[in-house]
Amino acid sequence: MNAIKKTLGGLMLATVLSFSACQQEVKWPALPVEEVKDYFADAAKTKTIDTAFYEIKDAKGDKIGTVLYSSPYSDDIKGFNGPTPLMIALDAEGRIQQVVLLENEETPRFAQRVVDGGLYEAWNGLTPSEAIGKEVDAVSGATYTSTGVKQSLVARLKAYERQLKK
């Protein structure tokens, strides 16, 4: 799992640097199917839909989910030590299945408090609209990290809703 987080974090960082370096539209890189197998066991193919937005398909070509990355939409949102980049997995019905904190500069002890406090599970089963509107308390002892995660999630889901309207 840590290898996946590091790989995805590196993929995001390289793309964000490219995205930030030029004014023209940048094609978001392909997402290797191996990177989503932990979240979508039946994944056979990924399709880039838009910036940090991937559709996941099974061997028959049916959509089984969506993967969203919070970067670059939340890069200006900080936890305690910097950005709190997220991967958000949505099931085939568009409900949040899992939220994962990717490679970051947060103090590991505080980042673990957020995990142990159940913050990432607070949005499971919700639609993006429901998650945006849900009041979620910060985890005691990791307030800055929690707040960064919450704000990153909301920023990304709002961007996702705009992407769907294109």
Residues 85-107 have a mean pLDDT of 97
Q: Are 83 and 77 in contact (CB under 8 A)?
A: yes
Sheet containing strand 86-91, strands side by side: 45-50, 53-57, 63-69, 86-91, 96-101
Residue 32 pLDDT more than 50? Answer: yes
Can you tell me the distance from the alpha carbon of 28 to that of 50, in angstroms, rounded to the nearest whole number? 7
Residues 90-108 have a mean pLDDT of 96
- Of the CA atoms within 13 Å of residue 43, those in its CB half-sphere come to 23
Q: Are 122 and 136 in contact (CB under 8 A)?
A: yes
Question: Domain boundaries in the chain?
Answer: 2-165
**pLDDT for position 1:** 52
Whole-model pTM: value is 0.85
How does pLDDT run across 134-161, given as a tens digit for each residue? 999 999 999 999 999 999 999 999 999 9
**pLDDT for position 119:** 97
Cα-flanking dihedrals φ and ψ of residue 63, to 5°? -70, 125
Task: Give the pLDDT band of residue 27 (cuts 50, 70, 90).
Answer: confident
Residue with tokens 């961007």: 159
Cα-flanking dihedrals φ and ψ of residue 49, to 5°? -100, -45
**pLDDT for position 9:** 53
**pLDDT for position 23:** 46
Q: Is 37 helix (H, G, I), strand (E, B) or coil?
A: coil
Residues in the chain: 166
